[in-house]
Structure 1
Amino acid sequence: MADQVEKTSNQFGTFGGVFTPSILTILGVIMFMRSGFVTGQAGMGSAILILVIATSITFLTGLSISAISTNTTVEGGGAYFLISRSLGPEFGGAIGVALFFAQALAVPFYILGFVEALTTTFPEALPYFLPIGLGTLTVLFIINYVGASWAIKTQYVVLSILVMSIGSFLVGGVMDFDMEIARANWESAYTDGTSFWVVFAVFFPAVTGIDAGVNMSGDLKEPERSIPRGTLAAIGVGFLVYLFNIIVSGGSTLRENLINDPFGSLLNQAGPLAFMVIAGVFAATLSSAIGSLLGAPRILQALARDDIFPGLGFFAKGTPQGDEPRRGLWLSFGMGIVVLLVAGSGGGGGALNAVAVVLTMFFLFAYGMTNAAAFIEQFSRNPSFRPRFKFFHWGSGLVGGIGCLVAAFLINPMAAIVSLFLVTGIYFFISRRVLQSTFGDARRGFYYERVRNNLSKLDTYEQHPKNWRPTALVLSGNPKTRLTLTQIANWLGRGRGITTLVNVIEGRVHEKLEERAKVQAEIEEYVDQNNIQAYVEVVVSPSFREGLGVLLQAHSIGPIKPNMIVSGWPGRPRDYEEFARQLRVAHELGLSQVILVDHGLPDEPERIDIWWRGQRNGSLMVILAYLLTHNWEWTRTRIRLIKMLDDGETTAEAEAKLEELLDAARLDADYLVLESGDFASQLQKTSGDADLVMLGFKPPTGDRAEGFHKAYSQFVEGLPTTLIVCSTGDADLLS
């Protein structure tokens, strides 16, 4: 990342940092200039339906945003950051560029709307259209240049004006409400070739303002809390205001006036307070311009810091105080000047209107990608996807993504196609790779090619604890004699990792080929009959030790290498030192180890006890327990962390640490703190009634091998089935 130094970022809260920018954009120009038209054309009933459908799409997107933003450490860049961290830099960069241009070019468009409203109200100002526009842009630039805090304070003033303006025409409409007018305006009465979906397309941009708040992600004190709360609150408040306005306007104003003069209808509703409606139009357009001028430079700064495009490093730098993206602000200011000069005659013209529609498409595609990111994260059952926001399901992400795509084509099919083409072009520019497909067998050849391409791509990414998944070698031997071992391994890897059942046959390869083939077939049959998601590997070696050593080193396909061994606990090992040597070799080769002590499993397990002694082994144990609970057989199971007090540690301190740990890990689990004492007796007393117990261990040296085995044999005596776990540290619960 280019040109980054230690900086002090802004620390905005939910109201100022997220809710205010979002609600000001939602309650914008559509509220004043087109809401009455929608009600008049569609009728009150269909207008409410349009509002519900449009808000539902935004609400589902808000759920996706909330899920992603509470599952990772959120930095600057808004929707770009969320998408790029979920779907990768190609998708994120494509949407990020589109969003930057959408936000930057939206600034002069909102200013044009402000100046047009001003000159319509005061016709004598029309000759000064361009100077007023440039002056307004300059004032907004100065406000943002001083700092986001001043821009937010300015938005507070604008919000106050907007609230009074909306209140003036809503209260006036309530006072003039007439049931006869409401009944006459209830049904649809489309004119001039309009229809339900045409009117829907007119209204939908009103609900696409949530990006203004999300774009402030890098300036929030607690983005993981503020983004969900502020975004969903803005959506809810916006819905209620529009709903109330539809009912009030439809019951107080004749249909002809709603259709032909929606702004004048609001002035009439306000009566003597009509000047507040005029002030509201000014506030709505200026607030939207301020929000876009806040957002565009921050998106550009995030793109530059991720070093996705060559030449953007210049824009990565932020100010020491607040990390303000002033270089990007200058660029946005320059782009605004150019657009205003081109449109200086006093109206944007057809070309500007076409670009405005494309900008709306960019927002819709960004929302669609956000939904897709959340859908893929949960549908793929990624173990690291554990959002604190619990009111999300992959189905809502899927429906929201489809809704954004459908809305884009309903609003303007040609603009949607153009926008899709531009975003796709940027994607391929970033990815810089040529896709080649060769087909042998129509199905196998296709899948083989996809796997080959994906393996090559996967090999270019560094391993990260956030993406840890169990790739397990299960020392099953004859699995028919180790049912619990293979079932536990299956549950750990089902749908999330890769499991391989391993059997080592001692002997010479050329003498054991038939036996090897027979054993392989038997294990594969066992896998199929028991619905176990696992591969089978049978090797022949002069000794088990040599066979296991070769297998641990060589069993892989490119970047997919085993990271965990699952084996049984030897009741009476013939050679304690050999057993300890195997544990150390596996550990030194970078493989975590899970040793099963099989005491059977209940039909409906209800509790897993994890004895927490430290984050290294503890992280892997908690992740494994989390994976188990996502199998339908374990859905009713609760995870309980158990910690014995360290020397000098109080119960309150230990409980606080566990609470902090569970919060950081985004896990809903119980905990128990015990007084220090004899571990074995505490273990038996506390976890004897659990359904599964997890303990950590360190591989012993040769001279301690026998003592290690005796100690753990004593620990697990009288316990339910126990997993003894040793982690290499690759799995991090807090990632």
Structure 2
Amino acid sequence: MATVTEGNEQQPEQTFNSLNRSPYHVKFSDNNQSFSQQQINTNQDNISSSSRHGSLSSTEKSGRFVVVKSSEVSDTNENDAINNINSTTENEKLPLQTGQTSDTSIKLNESIYEERDDRPRTVLDQLYNYKGGIVPNAAEADKPTGNQQKSANLGTIFGVYLPCVQNIFGVIVFIRLFWLIGIAGALQTLLIVLICSSCTLLTAISMAAIATNGLVPAGGAYFMISRSLGPEFGGAVGILFYLGNTFAASMYIVGAVEIVVKYMCPEKCRLFGDDVEKPLIAFNHYRIYGTILLLLIGTCVLIGIRFVTKIAPFSLFAVVISILAIYAGVIKSSFSPPDLPICLVGSNPSHLIKSNVLNNDIRRYCHADKWCNEGNETIPCPLYASICNKTINTLCSPDGHINDVRIEQGVPGLKHWQLSENLFSHYRAEGEIERDIKGDATFEVVAQELTTFLILVGIYFPSVTGIMAGSNRSGDLRDPSRSIPRGTIAAILTTSFVYLSNVIFLAACTHGSLLRDKFGDSINKQLVVSVLAWPSKWVIMIGAFCSTVGAGLQTLTGAPRLLQAVAKDDLIPILRPLAKSWRGEPIPALFLTLFICECGILIADVDKLTALLSMFFLLCYGFVNLACALQTILKAPSWRPRFRFYHWILSCIGVVLSVSIMFIASWYFAFIAMLIAIIIYKFIEYKGAEKEWGDGIRGLSMSAARYALYRVDEAPPHTKNWRPQLLAFISIERNDENETYTLRHSKIFNFLYQLKAGRGFVVAANVLEGDYLEKHQQIEPIRALLKSGLAQAKIQGFAEVLAAKDVEDGLSTLIQTEGLGGLRPNTIVICWPTQWRKDFDSFTAEAFIRTIAIAEVRQCAVIVPKNIDNFPDLKENQDGTIDIWWIIHDGGLLFLIAFLLKRNKVWSHCRIRLFTVTQIEDNSVAMKRDLEKYMYQLRIQAEVDVVEMADQEISAYAYERSLRLAERIKLLKDLKLGDKDLQLQSQIPMETIINSQQQQQRRSSFDDSNNQYHYTFTPNQLESFKHNVTESSMRKMHSAVRLNEQIKERSRDAKLVLINLPSPPTKQSTLAAYSYMEYVDVLTEGLDRLLLMRGSGREVITIFS
């Protein structure tokens, strides 16, 4: 409960001043309490422009809060209400629950926020439905909540601790742990257990930090990874973790069947075949019994998680009893060892004889005698017949006796000397009894596969997995952020203690040769730990079976929920049908899980299943640690976990351990798992998972971008680092009838894509005329249209929409302010206005010229595509020429753009031709030779042609600004430049060099005269042109016509023409703009595809690397 009042008086309950110090008081009440019925009139004049009054009453007993106006509630009533609230006992005080908000309270608040689109009910509902940092979007907020599945509300013990313990105590602890001790020795086995348990413990610590940093809904580990590392990583790891859980269920089921078929009823459970020990026959038994067991477990899961939760403790109870039976057996063996004889031959090395060779009667037949009496008959003894009848055998002496035959106790009891003998490793290759000593599998126990430390790590690791069993069921937990860390860490500590103690006890009380007997061939096919247990071996048999079945049950319960969580996020479209539920259970996901699990059962080999599923688990564990480390290092404001015992160094160690164990266990399976993850990652990225989850990867990108922006100097970049950073102005048409928008020139995006070889960024911008407050609703549709155009052209760029009073002002603002720090556009792309004559009264031409002038002042290059609709699409490959008409040396922009276009596959088959204009009296032959040499130094393949024109035919600019390459080297020497200065000077715009030369020597033909026509229009000339067409103006236009004829004559068939954009008039006026546009139109008339360019002088192309 809370009371909210205005003023400085401190109330007994928590108070806050809401509604911006309004005269309204917000009072929260318990469900069972209500205020006295009062008529509350709310004056809307204080809130909105409309003069409406309303009266509502707070009479609903289920209401959680009311809003009343201070001036209309008497102090007596208010104090009574406050006292009524404060008199509530502590047990009745409940937190704010917006889900129980009464309709009366909602109406009161709606009257206050009547003019707003986001009413308080919507905001409060979103806060109530907030899960792990995700506020529901509009579609999610509008969904009815009546059909939402009801969670099981499980606590820490039954929801996390017991499922984790049951999952961790799988098949490995009963049928493989003793064998690992015999092969690796106690010391290295302890090291293996510590490595694997450390990996899971560090992962659990990282998971605890993530789980306590907000709510964790259904999905568990997938949810934590995806919301921390992004949808791509989350989807990839989520699918792999799901597959790992599903194949783990297959391993558990196959392990349970192996216990039954091999140890519990090897004779009665035989379906076909005489020898169940043969791999093919055994695997067929596993497949049949495994399928039957899968159907039974699947039926239990199908009934529901509550049913699973009720039956799971019984199997867990059997597991606990089995573990205690092992400890009891170890203690008993110290004063009363079990009678478990084993037959050994030889001393160095010792040969462990199979019990079936001795007719399963070791005490009777384990001796060196040649003949044995069987009733009234004398027959060769089984051991002698098996060993000495061999052609080559060193175990038999020349006189036909077996050397050093003895019977020893398989479990001598808890002895320190036994522990010393089992401390060190006995790694063997297939078929060996000791390192480099081959054995005979017909009568003795030999290694059935190659064993190394790395291989044993991979075999053992699945015995510590299962730590995510609780987090996988996070949607069914009462308080996931509290239960997951406590239950998971407690389960890991418990199971790790059991494993470590079992390693020491088994090594201290069991014969080493027996520990290396993987399937109990020397003790009549008995499980080693079962004969050690007390009071009966059946305790272990039943416990091991229940352990594996229970682990499979828990895994098949969590895996479908994990898959359903991935499907609900809609990252992979094919998984959408799996997001459905029936009675709160993920039935479609469960059926798919059972099918995949059956595929794993058909493999029927536990050792083959463990390697692959270990990769899936380790990959998930690594990403959980990475997520925690990333969030901690980034120090995001939202990173506030309640679990404090974590550190980013521990998480990094967890990442290293996970990856190391992956490659230690099986490097090729590690690569396969990573390849699958990469494929899923790229698929989700390709499909464009537009999910904003505030994940760490995006936070890392923001930090990296911020760091990079600080590193980028705002000064002009070096010549070698210059690349076109494009700001393209996109024209958009509005259809007033249906209020839709269309692109006026959609092919400009294709052109922008073709310039992407420069590796610069692209900003597609549009100016919306009008006031922002009136036009703000139109901005998002236009931005979406621009993004769609960028996406269709495969451009990773930005879309920008600016509302301004007119287009001219908007373009000016974008040019001045677009970008951040040193990362700003340096090239403006604006289409030639095709309708400038028709739109003369709307100042289209004047706005266009002003934009060019602003770009020039801003020192930005300008690219003006003309006839943009004739430009090729992305798949229209061109074959012809790209012609450059190099009239003014502006730093080499024309060369650079032509080169970048040629790097695109559309223009890659085109040749570049360079045309430059000079006067007849110039040395055109020498100029062509020097230009070819210059192009060679620029490493650009181009055909050079010099076009000679008379003074009467071209303007003076053509002569003054044509490159005089023949005098360039001499000029540099005359200026006395050193090598360093020479390199720097080569990057200076050529205008500077020519101007420097002109100061020393100026030709008389450069003097102003009546027959020289400049490339710009002066205001005085244009004003006179307005009233009278003079001879000077006519000759000026004549120059444009003659140059246009030369261009059309040589470049009529060119696929693209690049030419310098004439300088705009220095004084802005409507008539000057009109005349300029007319001049450029005449200059470029008849050209199909044209790029007009004006450089700033910064985009210098250099001959140096």
Deviation string 1:664-723 (CA, Å, 9 cap, x unpaired) is: xxxxxxxxxxxxxxxxxxxxxxxxxxxxxxxxxxxxxxxxxxxxxxxxxxxxxxxxxxxx
Cα distance in structure 1, aligned partners of 2:491 and 2:308: 19
| Structure 1 residue 303 corresponds to structure 2 residue 566 | yes
* Aligned residue pairs, count: 464
Is it true that 1:257 corresponds to 2:514 in the alignment? yes
Mapped to 2, the partners of 1:42 and 1:312 lie a distance apart of 44
Paired residues of 2:627 and 2:696 also in contact (CA < 8 A): no
Kindly indicate whether the alpha-carbon contact (under 8 Å) linking 1:384 and 1:467 is maintained by their aligned counterparts in 2: no
Corresponding residue for residue 171 of structure 1:
328
Residue 59 (structure 1) shift: 0.8
| Correspondence 1:297-376 to 2 at 5 A | 297-320=560-583, 323-340=584-601, 342-343=602-603, 348-349=604-605, 354-376=608-630
**Residues in 1 aligned to 2:256 and 2:482: alpha-carbon distance in whole angstroms:** 34
Q: How far is 1:70 from its partner?
A: 0.8
- Equivalent residue in structure 1 for 2:305, among 123, 143, 148: 148
> Distance in 2 between the 1:210 and 1:107 partners?
14
Offset, 1:183: 2.1
User: Highest relative contact order (Cα 8 Å, sep 6+), 1 or 2?
Assistant: 1
Q: Secondary structure at the match of 1:260?
A: coil
- SS of 1:125's partner is coil
1:229 Cα offset (Å): 0.5
1:58–1:557 Cα change, 3 Å:
same
Give deviations 1:252-279, integer Å, cap 9, x for gaps: 1011111114773212211541100101
Q: Distance in 2 between matches of 1:338 and 1:189?
A: 35
Q: Which residue of 1 aligns with 2:482?
A: 225
Q: State the shift of 1:104 in Å.
A: 2.4
Change (3 A) 1:57 1:105: closer
Q: Conserved in 1, the CA contact under 8 Å of 2:171 and 2:256?
A: no
Pick one of 244, 252, 263 that aligns with 2:501: 244
CA offsets per residue over residues 388-445 of structure 1, 9 Å max, x none? 1111111111110111011011111111111111111111111118xxxxxxxxxxxx
Provide the residue aligned with 2:279 in structure 1.
none
TM-score, normalised on structure 2? Answer: 0.39
Report how far residue 26 of structure 1 moved: 1.4
Q: 1:294 aligned to 2:551? A: no
For 2:695 and 2:458, locate their aligned partners in 1 and report how far apart those are by CA, in whole Å. 44
Structure 2 gaps of 5+ residues are 1-138, 273-284, 334-413, 430-449, 521-525, 712-812, 825-1105
After TM superposition, give the deviation of residue 188 of structure 1 in Å: 3.0
The one-letter code of the counterpart of 1:288 is A
Deviation at 1:136, TM superposition (A): 1.6
**Largest Rg, 1 or 2:** 2
For residues 458 and 610 of structure 2, what CA distance do their matches in structure 1 show? 13
The whole-number CA distance in structure 2 between the counterparts of 1:115 and 1:493 is 53
1:126 offset after TM fit, Å? 2.5
Q: Which structure 1 residue ranges, 5 or more long, are not aligned?
A: 434-456, 473-491, 501-549, 562-735
CA offset digits 1:125-181 (Å, max 9, x no partner): 121845533332122112111111111222100110001111111211122211221
CA distance in 2, matches of 1:297, 1:174: 42
Aligned to 2:200: 58
Q: Deviations over 1:228-269 (max 9, x none)?
A: 011101110011101111111111101111111477321221
> What residue is the counterpart of 1:75 in the other structure?
217
Decide whether the 8 Å contact of 1:174 with 1:252 is kept in 2. Answer: no
Instruction: Quote the Cα distance in structure 2 between the aligned partners of 1:247 and 1:418.
Output: 36
Q: Is the 8 A contact 1:384 1:466 kept in 2?
A: no
What's the offset of the Cα at 1:34? 1.2
1-structure distance, mates of 2:611, 2:458 = 10
Q: Say yes or no: does 1:122 pair with 2:257.
A: no
CA RMSD of aligned residues (A): 3.7
Letter of the aligned partner of 1:98 in structure 2? L
Cα distance change of structure 1 residues 464 and 10 upon mapping to structure 2, 3 Å threshold = same
Equivalent residue in structure 2 for 1:160, among 305, 317, 330 = 317
Structure 2 Cα separation of the partners of residues 152 and 380 of structure 1: 39
- 2:473 corresponds in structure 1 to 216
Q: Which residue of 2 aligns with 1:429?
A: 683
| 1: CA distance, partners of 2:663 / 2:499 | 24
Tell me the CA shift for residue 84 of structure 1.
Answer: 0.3
Q: Compute the displacement of 1:197 (Å).
A: 2.9
Contact kept? 1:111, 1:133, Cα under 8 Å? yes
- Please give the alpha-carbon distance, in whole angstroms, between the structure 1 residues aligned to 2:682 and 2:818: 34
**CA positional deviation for 1:355:** 5.0
Q: Distance in 1 between matches of 2:693 and 2:252?
A: 45
How far is 1:463 from its partner? 9.1
Task: Kindly report which structure 2 residues correspond to 1:172-187, keeping only aligned pairs within 5 A, or say none.
Answer: 172-176=329-333, 177-187=414-424
Residues 355/499 of structure 1: CA separation in 2 closer, same or farther (3 Å cut): same
Structure 1 residues 273 and 496, CA, compared in 2 at 3 Å: closer, same or farther?
Answer: farther
C-alpha separation between the residues in 2 aligned to 1:354 and 1:468?
Answer: 38
Q: TM-score, normalised by structure 1?
A: 0.58
Contact 1:69-1:82 at 8 Å conserved across structures: yes
Tell me the secondary structure at the aligned position of residue 316 of structure 2.
helix
Find out whether 1:405 has 2:659 as its counterpart: yes
> Displacement of 1:557 after TM fit?
4.2
Deviation string for 1:185-223 (max 9, x for gaps)?
223333336333333332222112212222111111100
**Deviations, residues 622-673 of structure 1 (Å, cap 9, x unaligned):** xxxxxxxxxxxxxxxxxxxxxxxxxxxxxxxxxxxxxxxxxxxxxxxxxxxx
- Structure 1 SS opposite 2:153: coil
The percentage of aligned residue pairs carrying the same residue is: 33
2:270 counterpart letter in structure 1: L
Query: Is the Cα–Cα contact under 8 Å of residues 212 and 295 in structure 1 kept in the other structure?
Result: yes
1:536-588 deviations in whole A, cap 9, x for unaligned? xxxxxxxxxxxxxx89x957549x99xxxxxxxxxxxxxxxxxxxxxxxxxxx
CA 1:7–1:461 in 2, change beyond 3 Å: closer, same or farther? Answer: closer
Alpha-carbon distance change, 254 to 429 in structure 1, aligned in 2, over 3 angstroms: same
Return the letter of the residue paired with 2:309.
I
Q: Which is richer in helix?
A: 1
Cα deviations across residues 54-76 of structure 1 (Å, max 9, x unaligned)? 11111111111111111122111
SS of 1:312's equivalent in the other structure is helix
Q: Kindly tell me: are residues 96 and 50 of structure 1, through their superposed partners in 2, closer, same or farther at Cα, counting changes over 3 Å? A: same
Helix, strand or coil for the counterpart of 1:18?
Answer: helix
Q: What does residue range 188-587 of structure 1 map to in structure 2 within 5 Å? A: 188-192=425-429, 194-261=451-518, 264-320=527-583, 323-340=584-601, 342-343=602-603, 348-349=604-605, 354-432=608-686, 554=817, 557=820
Cα gap change, 1:407 to 1:338, in 2 (>3 Å): closer
2:615 and 2:681 map into 1 onto residues whose CA distance is 16
> Is the Cα–Cα contact under 8 Å of residues 458 and 614 in structure 2 kept in the other structure?
no
**Quick one: which amino acid aligns to residue 310 of structure 1?**
P
Counterpart of 1:201 in 2: which secondary structure? Answer: helix
Q: Which amino acid aligns with 2:237?
A: I
Which AA in structure 2 matches 1:199?
Answer: L
Relative distance call for 1:394 and 1:243 in structure 2 (3 A) is: same
Corresponding residue SS for 1:251? helix
Change (3 A) 1:252 1:416: same
- CA deviations on 1:372-401 (whole Å, 9 max, x unpaired) are 111111112222111111111111111101
Deviation at 1:7, TM superposition (A): 2.5
Q: Does 1:13 align with 2:267?
A: no
What amino acid is the match of 2:473? M
